[in-house]
């Protein structure tokens, strides 16, 4: 595979197959990693890839020295699985920056942390040598330029098809996650799939249908009655006709189901 398809750079960079991203001339120094969690989640889901964040951190750090690794995400206070995931992130080298999801008129739930990411990148510039931004959002173009003007190297990480071309253009280096997916993919024993995809979703999925225990088939009992006699089923009876549920018709069209049966 041509090296330019793996990492594009204005400088002559190379990707080390031993999970190292390094410069051909010199080291990357202190590395600060900024992960746009919502953006990465949706891009990875689009490519059907579940990210192993321990692997991702090692790959992005390469031969550099870790200054900070930030993870930005919207949160649902009532989502226990998400809270557990974020606790795991904090205990595995990430500083989690979170904002509560807001519900919009169309039902979507979102939390925009672009400002927080840009402010942290700029305020810390000068204390790190290389900034690694994991996002494909074009809104970061100005912030990336501002960080570069302060003398820091800026690398953009994302899936090429989900990364804005303008963002790639202003970066010193672009790392295509699609080309190194096997190095950052989460492994599943026995072919099991990762099911924590509600961690960053903005639109909450429909609640699952309740599980109903199947009821054994009961032989219907037809009650004979005259044409002018009305049928009044007891509470708990099930009345069904060809057109759905009916409240009043002749008794010959009904099946009566009681507790005695």
Can you say how many angstroms the Cα of residue 169 is from the centroid of all Cα atoms in its chain?
Answer: 26
**Residue extents of the structural domains in the chain:** 3-191, 215-261
Rg of the chain over Cα atoms, rounded to whole angstroms, equals 29
Query: How confident is the chain (261 residues) per 10-residue block, as mean pLDDT?
Result: 44 44 60 96 93 95 94 86 91 93 80 94 96 96 96 96 96 95 83 48 38 50 52 51 48 49 49
pTM above 0.85, yes or no: no
DSSP 200: S
DSSP 127: T
Query: Quick one: 3-191 is in which CATH superfamily?
Result: 5'-nuclease (3.40.50.1010)
Which pLDDT does position 234 carry in this prediction?
A: 53
Are 148 and 158 in contact by the 8 Å Cβ rule? The answer is no
Which pLDDT does position 103 carry in this prediction?
A: 79
């Amino acid at each position: 595979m041509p090296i330019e398809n793996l990492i594009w750079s204005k400088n002559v960079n190379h990707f080390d197959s031993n999970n190292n991203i390094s410069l051909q001339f010199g080291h990357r120094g202190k590395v600060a990693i900024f992960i746009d969690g919502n953006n990465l989640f949706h891009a990875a889901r689009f490519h059907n890839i579940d990210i192993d964040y321990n692997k991702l951190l090692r790959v992005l750090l390469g031969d550099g020295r870790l200054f900070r690794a930030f993870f930005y995400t919207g949160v649902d206070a009532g989502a226990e699985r998400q809270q557990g995931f974020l606790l795991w992130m904090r205990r595995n080298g990430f500083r989690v920056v979170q904002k509560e999801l807001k519900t919009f008129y169309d039902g979507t739930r979102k939390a925009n942390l672009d400002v927080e990411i840009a402010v942290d990148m700029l305020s810390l510039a000068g204390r790190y040598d290389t900034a690694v931004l994991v996002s494909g959002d074009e809104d970061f173009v100005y912030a990336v330029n501002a960080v570069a003007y302060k003398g820091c190297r800026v690398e953009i990480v994302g899936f090429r098809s989900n990364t804005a071309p303008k963002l790639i253009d202003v970066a010193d280096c672009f790392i295509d996650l699609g080309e190194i997916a096997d190095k950052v993919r989460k492994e599943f024993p026995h072919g099991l799939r990762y099911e924590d995809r509600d961690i960053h979703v903005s639109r909450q999925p429909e609640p699952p249908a309740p599980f109903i225990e199947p009821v054994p088939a009961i032989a219907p009992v037809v009650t004979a009655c005259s044409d002018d006699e009305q049928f009044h089923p007891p509470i708990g009876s099930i009345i069904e006709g060809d057109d759905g549920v009916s409240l009043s018709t002749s008794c010959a069209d009904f099946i009566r189901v009681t507790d005695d049966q």
